[in-house]
Amino acid sequence: MLAIFLFILYFCFSAWLMYDHKQKIGIQIQEELPKKVIKITTATPKKQQKNKPVLAVEVNLANSIKNNFTNGQQLPLPAYRPDFEENGNKINTGEYTENSSTALPTFAQHITNVPLAAKGGVANAHPHPYAIASAVNIATNGSSEALVENHKVEEVTNTAEEQLMYDKNIINEAVHQSRLAVGETIKEFVATRSDIEGAYKPLYELLTDYPFRLGKMLRPTLCISVARAVGGRGHDALTSAAALELYHNAFLIHDDIEDGSESRRGKGTLHQMIGIPRAINVGDATNVLAVGLLLENLSSIGVSKALNVLHEIEFMAQQSVEGQAMELDWVATNASHLTDQDYFKMCVKKTCWYSFITPCRIGLIVGHPSASNKELVNHLAGITRFGMLLGIAFQIQDDLLNLQGQIENYGKEIGGDIYEGKRTLMLNHVLSHRGKASEKILKILALPRDKKTPEDIAFISEQMQLCGSIEHGWEVARSLTNKAARIFDNLDFLQSENPLRSEEKWGCPVHDRRFLKEIINYVIYRNV
């Protein structure tokens, strides 16, 4: 018995020593990881500049390079097998491998994205017909067969279900209510303009095209959610939310023309349908319509708040056109030495302000009891930092989906960013890391869109895979959302819940902090 006891004692002591040694090695490796701290900055609207002229956030990109965990859960890196299409002809990467001397790597070895089935069940039709959190395609063992059709999925594995990283019910419920309310507001306002004596009605028919295609409705939902999270009423933010959606669609019309895009939200772009001159005019008219809608705020939320909202819109528009100018210049000059920091600067201007920062700031202005921006300076600064990080992560995920998504879910042309020569984070990365291959990539990018072939696009995508550009994009996006989550936790002026009140003309209770919390993971685990 003594011998057995001594053996057990020896075994336990040896196991402890081995465990302790591994722990020390793990800590040492973690300490030796290179720290790449980046500072992301933005200017602020004129009224805020005396107090906080520039806002900055530091993010350590090394935090997630060796760690595939968020909130304690292991997550898959997104990996897709894209089909590239040109002039209606689709080329699958597998086909390209067979017909090419260059073998492409297997793109999909695991789950491509986080599925949206409820716990313990199989994903069927979504609770709302226009839900943005649609079921996701699953690719295994290199297979590129799509399992998604009409926003349904036949089977979801238990492993995939357990990896759901956000509450799809909250996301869907909030977005569905926003879509109904904003759509009705836009429809009614367009009708008031169309019914004016002598109005040219065919123009107003075109104005309702893009807004009623099934977009994400993210900006209005953010605006209304922040307004309610600071104690406001949903219907008070509705006019501003609808105006933001109109501005968004005006930008899309012009953006599609400038980029030469071919599809938008599952249909042809407007300029392809009616020609560039008429599409430009529809975009202009949509902007005019948004201004008219914002003026409605004067009677609903008061002069002071209405003017503050207009100042926010003006600054948003300025930032957006500057960001668009940067991106267009990079394409025109075939820029080849852009850094992550360059991309962040462009993205903050082009995407973050009009997609995240401004909707959140306007929601705060409209919903807060105070009408003085001076009292909101710190709150505005916090929500701006939050929106800035989420906006960049959102854009990176959008760029990843453009490279590797499924057009049935994504709604835009797969590989379109490469056809257009857009300097995404992943393209900048591959240009900096592929040596002689970068020269060939630049030659392809310099070609007019109609001269680029699906094989060209597949080659660039292959190079991104080989040098880790796709993984780099995913890691950066995850680092940004991790930082955004920590900032969000400190936004204590956002109430945890704001129950619907009897005087509130609003039908969805989750437009508050609950939606804002779920949107953090949604931006990088969505497939649309």
For the segment 258-291, what is each residue's pLDDT rounded down to a tens digit? 878 877 877 889 999 989 999 999 999 999 999 9
| Identity at 333, one-letter amino acid code | T
| Identity at 203, one-letter amino acid code | L
pLDDT at 404: 82
pLDDT at 297: 96
CB 330 within 8 Å of CB 338: yes
What residues does 90 pair with on adjacent strands? 85
Q: Distances from the Cα of 159 to the Cαs of 54, 74, 121, 162, 340, in angstroms?
A: 44, 11, 12, 5, 34
Percent of the chain as helix, strand, coil, to the nearest 5: 60, 5, 35
Class of domain 168-525: mainly alpha
pLDDT tens-digit map of 162-188: 356 899 999 999 999 999 999 999 999
pLDDT at 127: 32
The position carrying tokens 């959008």 is 398
User: Each residue of 74-104: b (16+ CB within 10 Å) or e?
Assistant: ebbebbbbbbbbbeeeebbbeebeeeeeeeb
Q: Distances from the Cα of 11 to the Cαs of 6, 7, 19, 390, in angstroms?
A: 9, 6, 12, 50
Low-confidence ranges of the chain (pLDDT < 70): 1-35, 47-52, 62-164, 405-413
**29: buried, middle or exposed (CB in 10 Å: 19+, 13-18, 0-12)?**
exposed
| Identity at 481, one-letter amino acid code | T
What residues does 395 pair with on adjacent strands? none
Q: Which helix (H) or strand (E) holds 91?
A: strand 89-92
Per residue, what are the HEC states of 220-288? HHHHHHHHHHCCCCHHHHHHHHHHHHHHHHHHHHHHHHHHCCCEECCEECHHHHHCHHHHHHHHHHHHH
Three-state DSSP state, 73: strand
pLDDT at 60: 87
The position carrying tokens 């970068």 is 438
pLDDT at 2: 54
CA 115/CA 136 separation, integer angstroms? 5
Q: Which helix (H) or strand (E) holds 86?
A: strand 83-86
Per residue, what are the HEC states of 309-339? HHHHHHHHHHHHHHHHHHHHHHHHCCCCCCC
* Token pair belonging to 174: 């909030």
Domain ranges of the chain: 168-525
